[in-house]
Amino acid sequence: MPAVQETVDRVRRIDVDQYRYGFETLIESEKAPKGLSEDIVRFISEKKNEPAWMLEWRLEAYRRWLTMTEPTWARVNYPKIDYQDLYYYAAPKPKKTLSSIDEIDPEILKTYEKLGIPLREVAILEGVEPPPGGEPSEQRKIAVDAVFDSVSVATTFQKELKKAGVIFMPISEAIREHPELVRKYLGSVVPTSDNFFATLNSAVFSDGSFVYVPPGVRCPMELSTYFRINERNTGQFERTLIIADKGSYVSYLEGCTAPQRDENQLHAAVVELVALDDAEIKYSTVQNWYPGNSEGKGGIYNFVTKRGDCRGNHSKISWTQVETGSAITWKYPSCILRGDNSRGEFYSIAISNGYQQVDSGTKMLHLGKNTSSRIISKGIAAGKSQNTYRGLVTAHRKATGARNYTACDSLLIGDKCGAHTVPYVEAKNSSATFEHEATTSKISEDVLFYCTQRGLSQEEAVGLVVNGFVKDVLQQLPMEFAVEAQKLISISLEGSVG
Amino acid sequence: MALLEVKDLQVRVEDREILHGLSLTVNDGEVHAIMGPNGSGKSTLSHVIAGKPGYEVTGGQILFRGEDLLEMEPDERAAKGVFLAFQYPVEIPGVTTMNFLRTALNAQRKARGESELLVPDFLKKVRSVAAGLNIPQDMLKRGVNVGFSGGEKKRNEILQMALFEPSLCILDEMDSGLDIDALRIAADGVNALRSPERAMVVITHYQRLLNYIVPDYVHVMAKGRVVKSGGKELALQLEESGYAQFEDAA
């Protein structure tokens, strides 16, 4: 089977160094001393001008973390992390409060421009300087919160959002300006004691986004956050909290990139979503952290806790993720279906190439009556990567009429990679209907030959087959993201066939 | 210059030689039938002409309008005008037939240095070709060959043949898995595509296909060689006497 052999050889040669976002931005930054201690937690809290209650919250998490051990149940392997050998805080200098885009370090602005995130242009659209002849309102607007290392550097469209009553700001600001909301909801979905990484995050998180959509408001634009890790040896611990009050709707997008480095970097984020009665939150992620090079050197360790609470009746939370980056992914965006008739959705495309290891999936916890959930997971493994879907679906005793549909499909490219499906299903209410379907397939020689016989190159053929495979999930993404994701998928798989 | 010249072709799969010096010449517009028992190397020949990986050519050559076909990737051969209608067309879930057709056609056009076909022109073209083959519109919206019946799969092959306008069509066991009505529809589709600019190589085990697609020449293959060539009457003769005589001769 020469073509398979060729595929294997080609994959062996790939430098995942085609990673397009691997550049580093040279800016001065301010760091906390290396290592983790109560003093570091105090340092971070002080840097953020936090109130005393917040510091206490962090310290409690830190003390709890000291008693916890790192989880080992995921199908991933990595050398032991020395938590004292990391920086827990890095901020670009100068770190005075910025009142306009113009005060942002031009190097950082350039970074976001390179990443295709035009903070300045978006700011112009905000109405500060209407472009000559341009009609800003005709453009589809996306408000952006840009997080660079540990701090949020810019949030656009604040004014327009404010008019609608939507709060969208760095969480560090929200802690100062909206303490009542933050205190009420922070840690209410992912408690500080939840798991090793979430607890660590609770102690040292430095920034992230905060969103509050008031009752009955449909957020007038997509909200998005772009996370960028720049500093060396620096962990990124962002914290996102989104609250959709009764009858409101919000769509939130998240993107992530990092420079190419030989050493691994830790990213341990926590995302909490709260949907009250009749509210809906749509959360989409395109995760493209640096995956490491062809020998498996470097890359981000992505240990993330994402959870949504459908707290109100008839509420809905939908997670869509396209995972192409990271050396190791440990991530299970989940839904607690607490309200009656609430609905949770999880749509995922996880692509692994080179030496990447992915252990990702979801949890759908049915607590309320007539709750429903849907899981569509598409795993694509190439190179020497390992790709695991791990999912849990449970129905509580009182969850009468709970329904779940799960479909997990895996696609293998080459014969040195692995795909694994680990579903856990648990129904304590006899009226629950849980369906599970799983398939594993390979892009066969026959399919490739058929496509090439019709004039497609090998790469075009793989792209076509893969895009067909992930179509159901891509359709769930907002338009702009779907296009980006489609491009990203072909880049991640470039050179995966001969 | 001949359209296709296969000269003394020797082909191995792993350690076994399948073709032991096969020669065949096809000129523009001619229809050649290649008949032979199972295992005689008919499908191998079609795969090697189209460039399927997994075969090792150990001797001889294949020229297409004088160019060395064996030096080209399968997609380059397709763009040059080589089309293989598969015995077992593959399924591609999630990729609509329409999208597949457009992507493939434009890839071929691009390889030939032609401009991409605009969407309205493309749609017009596909619809008219599809109507001629009795292919309903909803079939074009479904995943490539996904859930298609045997007859639909073969009609989909002929649809592509009509759309890509190749100068050489190789039909590999087109009659396999078709009932008589489906066979007639498929054969009508093929006959409509016969033209002085398009040659065909019809590979079949049974004579019955040749009642519908009447060839100019018939070749009998046995044990990796062409053992006898003649006109269309050779097929009828075979129907009566069977392949055994040729297998013994080879």
Give the pLDDT of residue A450: 97
pLDDT at A5: 44
CATH number of the domain bearing residue B146: 3.40.50.300
Min Cα separation A488/chain B (Å): 18
- Whether B158 and chain A come into contact, CB under 8 Å, resolves to no
Residues 6+ apart with CB under 8 A from B202: B31, B32, B33, B34, B171, B174, B209, B210, B213, B215
Task: Say yes or no for a CB contact (<8 Å) between B105 and A1.
Answer: no
Q: What is the pLDDT of residue B151?
A: 87
Neighbouring CB atoms inside 10 A of A105's CB total 18
Contact status of B73 with chain A (Cβ, < 8 Å): yes
Picking from B52, B86, B104, the nearest residue to A456 by CB comes out as: B104
Residues in B touching A467 (Cβ below 8 Å): 94-95
Task: Tell me if chain A has a CB within 8 Å of the CB of B226.
Answer: no
Nearest C-alpha of chain A: how many angstroms from B89?
A: 8
Contacts with B143 from chain A: Cβ below 8 Å: 468
Separation between Cα atoms, residue A492 and residue B13, nearest integer Å: 33
- Strand, coil or helix: A144: strand
How far does the CA of residue B94 sit from the closest CA of chain A (Å)? Answer: 4
For B19, the 3-state DSSP assignment is strand
Q: What is the CA radius of gyration of chain A?
A: 22
Query: Are residues B143 and A468, on separate chains, in Cβ contact within 8 Å?
Result: yes
Total domains in the fold of chain B:
1
Question: Rounded to an integer, what is the distance from CA B208 to the centroid of its chain?
Answer: 17
pLDDT of residue B235: 86
Residue B78: which of A455, A464, A472 has the nearest Cβ?
Answer: A455
Q: Which pLDDT score, from 0 to 100, does residue A325 have? A: 80
* Alpha-carbon radius of gyration of chain B: 18
CA distances from B62 to B26, B53, B69, B163, B166 (A): 11, 16, 6, 25, 17
Could you say which residues of chain A have pLDDT below 70?
A: 1-29, 92-143, 147-156, 228-234, 256-262, 480-481, 490, 494-498
Complex ipTM tops 0.90: yes
Which residue of B46, B56, B92 is the best one to mutate when testing the A interface, meaning the one whose CB has the most A CBs within 10 A?
A: B92
Dihedral class, residue A370 (left if φ above 0, else alpha if ψ from -120 to 50, else beta): left
Provide the 3-class DSSP secondary structure of residue A255: strand
Instruction: Tell if the CB–CB gap between A468 and B105 is shorter than 8 Å.
Output: no
pLDDT at residue B133, as a whole number: 82
Q: Which domain holds residue B204?
A: 4-249
- Give SS3 for B141: helix
List beta partners, residue A357: A328, A386
**Parallel/antiparallel/unpaired status of strands A316-323 and B92-96:** unpaired
**In the prediction, which pLDDT does A16 show?**
42
Q: Do A469 and B93 touch (CB under 8 A)?
A: yes
Tell me the residues of chain B between 9 and 68 that have a Cβ less than 8 Å away from chain A: 50-54
The tokens describing A75, both together, are 């199908």
- B92/A449 CB distance under 8 A: no
pLDDT digits (tens, 9 = 90+) for A107-116: 666 666 665 5
Angle at Cα B132 formed by Cα B127 and Cα B134, nearest 5°? Answer: 90
Whether A457 sits inside 8 A of B105 (CB atoms) is: no
Residues 6+ apart with CB under 8 A from B102: B117, B119, B122
Residue A344 to residue A86: CA distance in whole angstroms? 36
Are A470 and B94 in contact (CB < 8 Å)? Answer: yes
Do B50 and A467 count as a contact with CB atoms less than 8 A apart? no
| Host H or E run for residue B25 | strand B16-26
Nearest to B99 by CA among B53, B134, B50, B146: B146
Residue carrying the six token digits 């018939």: B218
Contacts of A454 in chain B (CB under 8 A): 78, 100, 104, 107-108, 160, 164
Name chain A contacts of B94, Cβ cutoff 8 Å: 467-472
B120-179: pLDDT as tens digits: 899 999 998 888 888 888 889 899 999 898 888 999 999 999 999 999 999 999 988 888
The pLDDT value recorded for residue A121 is: 43
Q: Cβ of B104 and A454 within 8 Å? A: yes
What residue in A sits closest to B75 (Cα-Cα)?
A: A455
DSSP string, A449-487: HHHHHTT--HHHHHHHHHHHHHHHHHTTS-HHHHHHHHH
- The per-residue pLDDT for A410 is 92
CB pairs under 8 A between A and B: 83
CB contact under 8 A, A455 and B73: no
Q: Do A468 and B73 touch (CB under 8 A)?
A: no
Q: Which pLDDT band holds residue B71 (cuts at 50, 70, 90)?
A: very high
**Do the Cβ atoms of A452 and B103 come within 8 Å?**
no
